[in-house]
Amino acid sequence: MGNHVHLLARPIEPAATVTNWIKGVSAREANRLLNRTGTHFWNREFFDRWVRNDVEHVRIAYYIINNPVRAGFVTRPDDWLWSSAAR
C-alpha cells in the first residue's frame, strides 16, 4: 500500500494525461514535504484498465476500498484515513 495508489475515475482526458498530472502535482508536494530535490518520486509506469460495465465498476471499487484491509493496515475499510470509504 505504501508504494502505490488506486484511483477509479471517469476522466475527460486520456488516462496518460491524467496520470501525468496527478503524479506531477503529488511528487512535487511529497518531495517538498520530504525536503528532497532531484529525486524521482513515482515510477514511470502505470497500469490502467477500462471499466466496461457496472458490474466491473462495483468489483473494482470493492477491490480498491478493501485493499488496506487485505494489506493488514486496518480491520475495516472505513478505518483507512485516505479512503473514500472513510468519508
Q: How far apart are CA 71 and CA 3, in angstroms?
A: 12
Per-residue pLDDT, 2: 59
Q: How many CA atoms lie within 13 A of 87 on its CB side?
A: 4
The set of residues, in sequence order, having a beta carbon less than 8 Å from that of 31 and lying 6+ positions away, is 37, 39, 41
- The string of pLDDT tens digits covering residues 44-76 is 777 777 888 999 999 999 999 999 999 999 999
Domain boundaries, the chain: 1-48, 51-87
Q: What is the pTM of this model?
A: 0.68
Is the per-residue pLDDT at 36 higher than 60?
Answer: yes
The 3 state secondary structure assigned to 3-50 is CCCCCCCCCCCCHHHHHHHHHHHHHHHHHHHCCCCCCCCCCCCCCCCC
Q: How far apart are CA 13 and CA 39, in angstroms?
A: 27
